[in-house]
Copies of this chain bind each other. A is one copy, B any other.
């Protein structure tokens, strides 16, 4: 018999999202649906997933147990948002207005807007202010179903402010129920101080910042924006190889606006994810199909930037790549803080099926942050990160647009959202 201290009983539908990891073509179609499912945990870890009779046979429900009623709710793993730029200050509403008048993202960057606006604002705020902004955003993300959030630095672009961003992430990870996965992205842009001296900026990142981040244990991953006007493929390779030597896992912003070969590089070096892929080439698709590197698509970006082109989700799946979805929450190209909306965009704008989109926001998204052993599916041994949604079936998560169906969120075996409110 198994001990438990928390039980979610009698969920109308329980989606385990179990399967081989990362999930590819056929496995992506399977959410592991259990009707009238029960799930139990002890000290934050799942100890049981199954039916009521199995529960009665296997689990000892002591007096101190907490019960959550799952009737009329569907339960699924907490969403893993595997790509965000969480720690920033300011907003980019002015730029947003100009884009509505027809300016392109690249044109705005050329006028000194874009990322640089946010770099100035983020450098200007204190640690406490930045932490306060992050906590407020994490609350919103939690209310919309995210229980793990990757977060990149990259609006500091100097020693103190990159470290500040990463230390703030460590702090909010301690303070907030959401697990924050920190990524060092000093290679998000070339700061004004290093204009026309990209090599010197690379030296700075490699010789000073990477060791400083590592010695403070401030980041699990290194990420770089490989894009025309930012970092070339050769510069990206140099950065990534140095980051690997320094001990970082690798994520790469690749093929967002221009295909430069970074997706192939991501697969070659064993990055956990190649991210964006709007302009991915057939070679890029083949490279991901043959590697464990996850194709991490960010449908908020084409929606927010009003692009006609979308990443070729179906081609990637058909080729055998492992697909994940993330929000790319950031002030310039995707102010999307709801993973539920990302799931919906995955269906309506990338034409995923509901099941593919759910797996892409859970099991495969966990692979895109290297935490597939801990999160992303509901099975014994993993974290008790569960969301309960008030919809009649999983398809209704996508079919009903507008209202937020997330009623309760359990994180590490603790109820942190009850009836749509933070507890």
Contacts and interface: CB of A to CB of B under 8 A. Distances in A.
Given A100-B353, A351-B100, A396-B93, A402 B140 contact: yes
Contacts of A396: 91, 93
B97 A395 contact: yes
Max chain B Cβ within 10 angstroms of own Cβ: one of A100, A336, A404: A100
Contact of A403 (B338, B349, B351, B399): B338
A114 to B, nearest CB: 15
A144 interface: yes
Nearest to A357: B100
Interface string A60-103: 00000000000000000000000000000001010011001100
Max chain B Cβ within 10 angstroms of own Cβ: one of A143, A336, A401: A401
A347 interface: yes
Contact of A400 (B144, B337, B353, B354): B337
A129 to B, nearest CB: 15
A343 to B, nearest CB: 11
A144 B96 contact: no
Interface string A276-320: 000000000000000000000000100110100000000000000
A335 interface: yes
A194 interface: no
B402 A341 contact: yes
Contacts of A140: 402-403
B91 A403 contact: no
A185 to B, nearest CB: 22
A304 B348 contact: yes
A96 to B, nearest CB: 5
Interface string A363-404: 000000000000000000000000000001101101111111
Contacts of A395: 93, 96-97
A423 to B, nearest CB: 16
A143 B403 contact: yes
A351 B306 contact: yes
B337 A303 contact: no
Contacts of A337: 400-403
5 contacts: A93-B395, A97-B353, A304-B401, A335-B399, A337-B401
Given A300-B401, A336-B401, A338-B402, 13 more contacts: A93-B395, A93-B396, A96-B395, A97-B353, A97-B395, A100-B351, A100-B354, A144-B402, A306-B351, A335-B400, A337-B400, A338-B401, A341-B401
